[in-house]
Amino acid sequence: MFESITRAGCGRTGKLVRENQHIATPVLLATDSDRYLPGFVPEIYINNHDGRNHIYFPDFVSNGKVDVPGIHIPFPEYSGYPYTAKCASEPAVLENACVIGPNTDLKLIASVRDEIDLFILENSIELYQNSKMFVDTLARMRDAIGYQSALYMPGVALPNNVALLAYMGVDMFDTARVALLSGQDWFMTADGNRQEKDYCACKACEDDEDIYRHNTQALHSELMNVRKRITNGTIREFVEYRSKTSPKLVEILRHLDMHHFAYQEERFPVVSSKFTATTRLALGRPDIVRFRNRILERYRKPATPDVLVLLPCSAKKPYSSSKSHGFFARAVEESRAGPRIHEVIVTSPLGLVPRELELFYPAQHYDIPVTGHWFEDEKVMINRLLKEYIKINKYIHIINHLGDTELLDGIEAESTAHGNPTSDESLANLTRALAAFSDGKKDWKNRASEEITAMAAFQFGPIASEIFTGCAMAGRFPQVRVIRNKVQLATISQANGMLIPTIDGAELLADAGVHVVRIENFEMTGNLFAVGVQSASPEIRVGDEVAVVRDGETVASGTARMSGDEMTQSKRGEAIRIRHKAH
C-alpha cells in the first residue's frame, strides 16, 4: 500500500506499507552485496533471490549488511529490450508490483493501477540519455499510474540529479548508477561528478574508505535534503539551484516547463511558502505561470477605475507595506483622483499584479535580486502580458511610472518617472498626471464590492464574479469580513489574500458547482479523508478553499489537501482540512 503525505509541485513524501512495516518515500534502495557496502544505513534494499529481484524491508542492519526477513516485494520479469525495440505494450504484473516501459499501453496501466503499490519503469537509464524522451515518458507514465502507487526508476539516481527526479514525481531510487561510476573512480557530490577528489569531511573520506561509500553517502544525504524540501514546500527552488550544476539538468527542467505545464500545474499548490527567484528558470515555475495565466483568463479589473497606473515592485512584501509604495499611495491621495485610479505592479517573474491581488500567492511570497536591469526574456514576457491585459481590461488612459519605457514598447502611455520613481520630481509628475482625472464624477462607493468580485473571479474562476457580486468589506486588518445583506460569506486571509468562505459562502459555491467535493452519506467528526469522497471538481488544487456537499446539502467548508483528481482516485490520506461545519 502506498500513501502520499505531503506534496510540493510534482514531488511528494509518502509511505510504502507492507504488512506491519512502512518505508518513508522518496527512498533509496541499497544493493545487498558484500562487494558493495553503502555509506549509509539502508531503509530498504534490493536483492536477487531465486533468480528474481526483490525489494526487502530489513529488520536489522549492521555494518551495511542486512538480515533478510520475509517481508518483500517481488519484481515481475523485465523484458531486457531497449525502448527503441517496441517492447510489449502490456504491463507485467506480479502481486503488487508492475513493470512498465515507454511503449506500455496507458489504458492498460490505468486499468491495473488500483491493485499496484509499486510501478517500475524499465530502461530508465537509456531513456535518461534523451532528455525530451525522458521527460515526455515520465510525465505520461506518472499520469497513467495515478496518485496511489509509487514509481521506481532503476539505475538513474546520482547525488546531483536526485532532487530533480523526485521533483518530477519519482518516489524510489537505487545505488546502481553510483556503483557503476564509482568503479570508474568518479567522485560525486550534489554539485556534480568529477574524477579528482575534492575535500570532504564525511566519515568515509576521513577513514579513507572505498569511494563507493562516500558516493552512496552523498546520494543518501541529498535525498534526505529532498525529503525536507518537499515537506517545507521549497523543492522547486532547490531544483533550480541544483540544476545549474549541469547542462543536462537544465535541459530536462526546461523540457518539463515548456512542454508539460499541465502535468505540473495540476500538482502545484495554490498556496505555499516563501521562495527566492534568483535564476531565469523561475520564469517557468508552474505556480508563477499559473498566476500570469489567471490574470488573463480569470481576472477582470474593477468597473469604476478607468486610469491604469503601472508601478514598480518593491523588495518588501506586500508591496503596500513598503516605503516606496507609501509614496505612491500619497501621490494618489493628493491627486484626489483615487476612485478612478487602478494600480498594477509590474514585476518579474510574475508579470502584472493588480493592487487587490497583492496578498495572493505568490505575489507576497517571492524575493528577487533587484538590479534595475531587465533581461530580454523578462521584457518580452511583460510586454506581451501587458498588451493582452489591456485588450481585455479597458482604460481611457495609461500612466507609466516604472522609470523604464522599453517594457511598454508598442503601448501608448504617459511617462511620469524619470530615473528613480520615488524621486521628488517623479512623484510630483505622478501627482500632476493623476490630478487631471480628479473630476469628482466617480467615488469610492462601489470600489470595495468590485474588488471583492475581482478577487473571487481570480480565485474561483469567472463564475464567482456573479456569486460574490454586491458584497461589502467590514472590519479592520487582520479581521476583514465579506458581507452581503448582513450575512457573512467569507473572510479575507492576510496570509495569502484568498477568500475563506463561511458555510453560507460555501453554499453559494456549491450551488454554482465551483470547488465542490461530494461525499458519501456519513457523519464527519474531523477532517475529511479521501476514502469518503464520491467526486470532486477537477479544477481544485492543493490549498484551494472548497465546499463539502452530502446528499445535496452543504455540510462543511475547508482547505483542499489534495487536487480534485487525487481526491477522486485515492482511498487513503487527508483530502480536506475542515474549517467550518454546518449545524
Judging by beta carbons within 10 Å of its beta carbon (0-12, 13-18, 19+), is residue 61 exposed, middle or buried? middle
Contact call for residues 545 and 559 (beta carbons, < 8 A): yes
Phi and psi angles of residue 195, each rounded to the nearest 5 degrees, phi first: -100, 5
Q: What is the C-alpha separation between 291 and 364, in angstroms, rounded?
A: 12
CATH code 3.40.50.10630 region(s) in the chain: 299-435
Q: What is the C-alpha separation between 143 and 139, in angstroms, rounded?
A: 6
Contact call for residues 24 and 15 (beta carbons, < 8 A): yes
Q: Hey, what's the cell of 299?
A: 481576472
CA distances from 246 to 176, 197, 212, 275 (A): 20, 18, 21, 22
β-partners of residue 547 are 516, 557
CA-nearest of 312, 580, 304, 319 to 452 is 304
DSSP 3: E
Residue pLDDT tens, the chain, 583 long? 889 999 998 999 999 887 777 889 999 988 755 555 666 777 777 766 555 566 666 554 444 444 444 456 777 766 656 666 656 678 888 888 899 988 899 999 999 999 999 999 988 988 999 999 999 999 999 999 999 999 999 999 999 999 999 999 999 999 989 988 988 989 999 998 888 787 787 777 767 677 888 999 999 999 999 999 999 999 999 999 999 889 999 999 999 999 999 999 999 999 999 999 988 899 999 999 999 999 999 999 999 999 999 999 999 999 999 999 999 999 999 999 999 999 999 999 999 999 999 999 999 999 988 777 888 999 999 999 999 999 999 999 999 999 988 899 999 999 999 889 999 999 999 999 999 999 776 777 789 999 999 999 999 999 999 999 999 999 887 678 999 999 999 999 989 999 999 999 999 999 999 999 999 999 888 999 999 999 999 999 999 999 999 999 999 999 999 999 999 999 999 999 999 999 7
Instruction: Tell the CATH topology of 459-581.
Output: 2.30.130
Residue listed under C-alpha cell 506534496: 7
CATH code 2.30.130.10 region(s) in the chain: 459-581
pLDDT for residue 63: 42
Residue listed under C-alpha cell 509499486: 118
Question: Looking at domain 2-265, which of 3.20.20.70, 3.40.190.10, 3.30.70.1520, 3.20.20.105 is its CATH number?
Answer: 3.20.20.105
Phi and psi angles of residue 331, each rounded to the nearest 5 degrees, phi first: -65, -40
pLDDT for residue 535: 96
Q: Hey, what's the cell of 245?
A: 550544476
Contact call for residues 168 and 255 (beta carbons, < 8 A): no
- CA-based max dimension of the chain: 88
CA distances from 423 to 231, 324, 526 (A): 43, 10, 55
pLDDT for residue 229: 96
Q: What is the C-alpha separation between 482 and 228, in angstroms, rounded?
A: 37
Q: What is the C-alpha separation between 297 and 393, in angstroms, rounded?
A: 11
Other beta carbons within 10 Å of 526: 9
pLDDT for residue 69: 47
With b meaning 16 or more CB within 10 Å and e meaning fewer, what string describes 375-397? eeebbebbbebbeebbeebebeb
Other beta carbons within 10 Å of 480: 15
Q: What is the C-alpha separation between 391 and 397, in angstroms, rounded?
A: 13
Q: Which amino acid is at 300?
A: R
pLDDT for residue 324: 96
CA-nearest of 583, 575, 501, 510 to 549 is 510
Instruction: Tell the CATH topology of 299-435.
Output: Rossmann fold (3.40.50)
CATH code 3.20.20.105 region(s) in the chain: 2-265
Residue listed under C-alpha cell 476612485: 339
Is residue 318 reached through a cis peptide bond, with omega within 30 degrees of 0 on the bond before it?
A: yes
Q: What is the C-alpha separation between 5 and 575, in angstroms, rounded?
A: 10
Q: What is the C-alpha separation between 104 and 144, in angstroms, rounded?
A: 10
Beta strands in 456-524 (DSSP E): 472-474, 480-484, 487-492, 499-501, 516-519
